[in-house]
Structure 1
Amino acid sequence: MSGARHLGIERALDQAFGPHKSLTESEIAARTDSYFNRTRDIVAHYGDCRVTYAFFIRRPVVAAYGLMQRWLENVAQKQGFDFEIVPVFEEGAWVGAGEPLFYLTGSFTALAPLETLLLQKLGAACVAAHNAYQMALALPHVAFLAMEARHCAGFEMQEMMAYAAAVGSDAAKGEGARGFIGNANDATAAFFGIEHGLGTMPHALIGYAGSTVRAAEMYREVFPDDALTILVDYFGQEITDALAVCRRFPDLASQGRINVRLDTHGGRFLETLDPQSSYAVLERHTPGTIRRYRSDRELRDLVGTGVSAAAIWRMREALNEEGFEAVKIIVSSGFGIEKCMAMRDAHAPIDVVGSGSFIPSQWNETYATADVVAYEGVPRVKVGREFLLTQAEARRKGQ
């Protein structure tokens, strides 16, 4: 990750995690696992010691622990203790399965009650960052818009997922991808270097307006300086309605200031398509894409219902045939890693992907673990976790 991008996320974390963003000791005690509270009491009775924890995740991830670290800094400031984090991997780096991300050293009585909450703020963020990184690399010439908020269980998760997408995106940008250019709401926009969320209209506005063209007119009247992004699937007439809006606003279309957003329901095909014509569309534009073996999932993404590669190519065809080559195509609906890879294989003409599918789908993959690996500087760890000591020794020697 480049220094400039890293500093951008650092500033966003500073903004989101001011000194007020913390919990009281009683709140922490109520939310942590009880045996950590009992450990604190026993250690306090017999004498505190300085311990070193190794934090790791059992699957490959992208290191995204800045949010967790900011929270820990706030707690430490409020409770009056010190700690040290020694990174094994810098923020945004790829991390192998089971490799320690960092070592945390501090007072056992201070850190023991925090373990549960620290792990909550680590695992899911690292997996989501890895997913965002893979998606951006799968479609390196496509811009992504983070639309995670609606899929999150409250604002704390929303904030974590937006942060993770920004970290994974920046890692992909370091390898030449466009990555995530923004998100859908104001509260977490700073993670993407913008002040406000991006987006124009939901399906409900089109239902209110009574037609796709009228919804576009209403939007244009209220926001005359904005580019115009239109949803075109409400009435099941994606091509008809997209062309109608472009004809209604030809100047905007010629200037590239109209975006057509495809969000076709997975229960039907895009207007004019069926299985046979979907295969034909891909044969016209990307010969050979569907001639080799494909899994059922890949076939759905390529030629199935909903926002398939064939649907995107068909929309591009229709726009170009009418002279609207400058109109851009935005896609949404289930764009996770696998779907992005299918779109890459089909060379789908996508300009922007709107996605919340970087949120981990298998939650058991997000479980982070922390083990104490040293007591007062003396290495010691439970049987089976000796690899953590090996990593610690290598780090100490600078290898």
Structure 2
Amino acid sequence: MDALPPPGDPPPEGPDAAITSHTDVYFNRTRAIVQRFGDCQVTYAVFLRRPVVSAPRLMLEWLEGVARDRGTQFGIEVMHPEGTWVGAGDPILYLTGSFAQLADLETLYLQKLGPPCVAAHNAYQMCLELPAVAFLAMDARHCAGAEMANMMAYAASVGSEAAKREGARGFVGNATDATAHWFGASRGFGTMPHALIGYAGSTLRAAEMFHANYPEENLTVLVDYFGREVTDALGVCQRFPELGAAGRLAFRLDTHGGRFLEGLDPAESYAVLERHAPGAIRRYRSETELRHLVGTGVSAAAVWKMREALDAAGFPKVRIVASSGFGVQKCRVMAEARAPIDVVGTGSFIPDTWSETYATADIVAYDGVPRVKLGREFLLRRNGERKRTGAVAPG
């Protein structure tokens, strides 16, 4: 049985109904109390408890729309512009305005700030670990709906741009049309899922079907469906040598963690790395790092094994796309092994620990008088603190 609203809390209605129904009740009640006993100007400090890359745009755009709808104005002092590093507990921005107009907004604007900032930081780190590699955002299937997918694509673009300023290639696109604009594209990228290969009955036939339907597109072929990564890749190369010679053919390694890539076992995996990156395996490693180097799935040894086979068969311009669990740590291991990856397909910039994404806001001034709860004095503005001031006002 649905719970009835408690006495004194009528069902939300009017233009603010969506805000009222999705915000924490105590913020709604605070707004009602302030409206009854007298409004004041307040300033919120908005921050996260872990280091992040600043990604406030979605929050600021939402506040702009609310200010316009309510006929009010919010003052914004952005202390860390989009794409810059922010330390733990350091206010990303200060938000000033009518307490009655701001009290009920905290739940929703924090939702739009925390996850993008953490995801942007993860994307930034991944790009810096493999600066010569292009990244493709393949996070959409792992998102809880369209709003989260938009936040994660935005975050990847912010982290990517920050890494590009330090010389990385960064993200070159993503997998859906709806969020492609964050990467300066009109549409998403992608060729085939495993389902198409199962439908076609062979890896080669799936490649032929795709090329027949999209002859102008570059061809990226999944090669792990039948466990014949090397054999099937070479078969496709022999069928489409002109695409290979033109650099328009690539193979995506997505071997799952339950088995080795074709032709590999533990001994051969060590031997492959001994040939190409001996330093990467000659010091102590954690179990996870060893798996990324010489274990099952898409390891550094697997990437090198595929590169060896393609080069030996006369296809040096055929590219390798690697996916499956590419987070910051795996990217770092691949860099140490100098794995010859051309593109990484990843959704692992989505935070693993969701509690790290919780943004927080505390009021630090009432009518210009500094005041904050005990223990949060570090949020107060410091004398001489550099401010980057903007405003969110009616449009």
Provide the TM-score with structure 1 as the length reference.
0.93
SS where residue 380 of structure 2 aligns?
Answer: helix
Contact 1:50 1:376 in 2 (8 A): yes
The answer to whether residue 94 in structure 2 is matched with residue 103 in structure 1 is yes
Work out whether residues 264 and 306 of structure 1, in 8 Å CA contact, stay in contact via their aligned partners in 2: yes
Q: 1:228 aligns with which of 219, 222, 231?
A: 219
Alignment partner of 2:35: what SS? helix
1:187 corresponds to: 178
5+ residue gaps, structure 1, are 1-22
SS for the counterpart of 1:288 is helix
> Which position in structure 2 is the counterpart of 1:322?
313
Per-residue CA distance 1:229-277 (angstroms, 9 max, x = gap): 0000000000000000000011111111100100001100000000010
Which letter does structure 1 place at the counterpart of 2:118? V
Aligned to 2:114: 123
Does the CA-based 8 Å contact 2:77-2:388 persist in structure 1? no
Deviations 1:98-151 (A, max 9, x none): 100000011101111000011111111100000000000000000000011000
Q: Distance in 1 between matches of 2:136 and 2:215?
A: 22
How far apart in 2 are the matches of 1:208 and 1:124? 37
Give the aligned partner of residue 158 of structure 2.
167
Which of 303, 315, 319 matches 2:294?
A: 303
Mapped contact 1:100–1:391 kept (Cα < 8 A): no
Equivalent of 2:339, from 344, 348, 363?
Answer: 348
- 1:34 alignment partner in structure 2: 25
Give yes or no for the alignment of 1:331 onto 2:343. Answer: no
Residues 396 and 319 of structure 1: CA distance in aligned 2, closer, same or farther (over 3 Å): closer
1:292 to 269, 283, 286: 283
Counterpart of 1:70 in structure 2: which amino acid? E
Instruction: Give 1:379's aligned residue.
Output: 370
CA distance in 2, matches of 1:250, 1:41: 71
Deviation at 1:397, TM superposition (A): 12
CA contact (8 A) 1:231 1:263 kept: yes
Q: What's 1:10 paired with?
A: none
Question: Does the CA contact (< 8 Å) of 2:136 and 2:175 recur in 1?
Answer: yes
Pick one of 113, 136, 147 that aligns with 1:156: 147
> In 2, Cα distance between the equivalents of 1:393 and 1:214?
67
CA distance in structure 2 between the partners assigned to 1:46 and 1:393 by the alignment: 35
Instruction: Quickly say closer, same or farther: Cα 1:294–1:396, change in 2 above 3 A.
Output: closer
Matches within 5 A, 1:37-48: 37-48=28-39
1:88 equivalent in structure 2: 79
Is residue 199 of structure 1 aligned with residue 193 of structure 2?
A: no
CA distance in 2, matches of 1:386, 1:271: 59
What displacement does 1:72 show? 1.0
Q: 2:42 aligns with which of 44, 48, 51?
A: 51
Structure 2 unaligned spans of 5+:
1-13, 390-395
Matched, 1:112 2:103: yes
C-alpha RMSD of the superposition: 1.3
1:149-192 CA distance string (max 9 Å, x none): 00000000000000000000000001000000000000000000
Partners of 1:48 and 1:59 in 2: how far apart?
Answer: 33
Structure 1 residues 272 and 385: alpha-carbon distance in aligned structure 2, compared to 1, 3 A threshold: same
8 Å Cα contact 2:75-2:95 kept in structure 1: yes
2:393 match: none
**Percent identity over the alignment?**
68
1:383, distance to aligned residue in structure 2 (A): 0.8
Displacement of 1:24 in angstroms is 3.6
Residue 342 of structure 1: how far off its partner (Å): 0.5
Instruction: Indicate the structure whose relative CO is greater, using CA pairs within 8 Å and at least 6 residues apart.
Output: 2
CA, structure 1 residues 391+230, in 2 after alignment: closer, same or farther (shift >3 Å)? farther
Aligned with 1:55: secondary structure? strand
Q: Which consecutive aligned stretches of 4+ in structure 1 deviate over 6 angstroms post-superposition?
A: none
Cα distance in 2 between the residues matched to 1:182 and 1:249: 25
What SS does the corresponding residue of 1:100 show, helix, strand or coil? Answer: coil
Give the drift of 1:396: 6.4
| Partner residue of 2:244 out of 253, 256, 267 | 253
What is the rounded CA distance, in whole Å, between the counterparts of 1:391 and 1:115 in structure 2? 24
- Aligned mate of 1:132, from 116, 123, 145: 123
- Determine the structure 2 residue equivalent to 1:265: 256
Q: Distance in 1 between matches of 2:250 and 2:19?
A: 47
The Cα of 1:226 is off from its aligned counterpart by 0.8
Q: Distance in 1 between matches of 2:40 and 2:205?
A: 69
Alpha-carbon distance, 1:395 to partner: 3.8
Shift of 1:394: 2.4
Shift of 1:79: 1.7
The count of corresponding residues between Structure 1 and Structure 2 is 376
Q: Distance in 2 between matches of 1:152 and 1:300?
A: 26
Given the superposition, is the C-alpha separation of residues 265 and 396 from structure 1 closer, same or farther in structure 2, using an over 3 Å criterion?
A: closer
Q: How far 1:78 sits from its partner (Å)? A: 1.3
Distance 1:307 1:24, change over 3 A: farther
Letter in 2 for 1:67: L
Instruction: State how far apart, in whole Å, the 2-side matches of 1:222 and 1:389 are.
Output: 61
Alpha-carbon distance between aligned partners in 1 of 2:320 and 2:334, rounded to the nearest angstrom? 13
TM-score normalized with structure 2 length: 0.93
